[in-house]
Structure 1
Amino acid sequence: MKFFVDTADTKDIADLAESGMIDGVTTNPSLIAKAGRPFADVIQEICEIVPGPVSAEVVATDYEGMITEGRKLAKIADNVAVKLPLTWDGLKACRTLSGDGTQVNVTLCFSANQALLAAKAGATFISPFIGRLDDINIDGMELIADIRQIYDNYLFDTEILAASIRSANHVKLSALAGADVATMPPGVIKSLANHPLTDKGLEIFLADAQKAGIKV
Structure 2
Amino acid sequence: MRLYLDSARLSELEPLLGTGVFYGVTTNPLLLQEAGLGAAGLPGFARAVLQAGAKEVYLQAWGGSAEALYRCGLSLAGLDGRVVVKLPATWEGLGAAGRLVLEGVRVCITAAYLPHQALLASAVGADFVAPYLGRINDSGQDGYAAIGRMSESLRGIGSKTEILAASVRSVADVVALAQRGVCHITLPLQVAHRLFQEPLTLEAARQFEQAMEGASL
Task: Check if 1:192 corresponds to 2:195.
Answer: yes
For residues 131 and 178 of structure 1, what CA distance do their matches in structure 2 show? Answer: 18
Task: Check if 1:39 corresponds to 2:41.
Answer: yes
Where in structure 2 are the equivalents of 1:1-216 lying within 5 Å? 1-37=1-37, 38-40=40-42, 41-202=44-205, 209=211, 215=215
Moved more, 187-196 or 3-12: 187-196
One-letter amino acid matched to 1:2: R
For residues 67 and 125 of structure 2, what CA distance do their matches in structure 1 show? Answer: 18
One-letter amino acid matched to 1:185: P
Moved more, 189-198 or 71-80: 189-198
Aligned residues of 1:71 and 1:97 also touching (Cα < 8 A) = yes
Aligned residues of 2:134 and 2:167 also touching (Cα < 8 A) = yes
For residues 101 and 93 of structure 1, what CA distance do their matches in structure 2 show? Answer: 13
For residues 49 and 203 of structure 2, what CA distance do their matches in structure 1 show? Answer: 37
For residues 93 and 85 of structure 1, what CA distance do their matches in structure 2 show? Answer: 10
Aligned residues of 1:61 and 1:90 also touching (Cα < 8 A) = no
Q: Which runs of 5+ in 1 are unaligned?
A: none
Q: Against the structure 1 CA distance between its residues 154 and 186, is the aligned structure 2 distance closer, same or farther, given a 3 Å change threshold? A: same
TM-score norm. by structure 2 comes to: 0.89
What is the number of residues matched between the two proteins?
A: 213
Q: Against the structure 1 CA distance between its residues 13 and 205, is the aligned structure 2 distance closer, same or farther, given a 3 Å change threshold? A: closer
Deviations 1:154-201 (A, max 9, x none): 111111000001111111111111112100112212211322322344
For residues 164 and 151 of structure 2, what CA distance do their matches in structure 1 show? Answer: 11
One-letter amino acid matched to 2:130: S
Q: Against the structure 1 CA distance between its residues 78 and 25, is the aligned structure 2 distance closer, same or farther, given a 3 Å change threshold? A: same
One-letter amino acid matched to 1:39: G
Deviation at 1:97, TM superposition (A): 0.4
Q: Which runs of 5+ in 2 are unaligned?
A: none
Deviation at 1:58, TM superposition (A): 1.4
For residues 67 and 74 of structure 1, what CA distance do their matches in structure 2 show? Answer: 10
Aligned residues of 2:25 and 2:54 also touching (Cα < 8 A) = no
Moved more, 86-95 or 107-116: 86-95
Deviations 1:92-148 (A, max 9, x none): 111110111111111000010011111111111100000111212321111221111
TM-score norm. by structure 1 comes to: 0.90
Moved more, 7-16 or 37-46: 37-46
Deviation at 1:65, TM superposition (A): 0.5
For residues 21 and 204 of structure 1, what CA distance do their matches in structure 2 show? Answer: 24
Q: Against the structure 1 CA distance between its residues 64 and 169, is the aligned structure 2 distance closer, same or farther, given a 3 Å change threshold? A: same
For residues 56 and 154 of structure 2, what CA distance do their matches in structure 1 show? Answer: 21
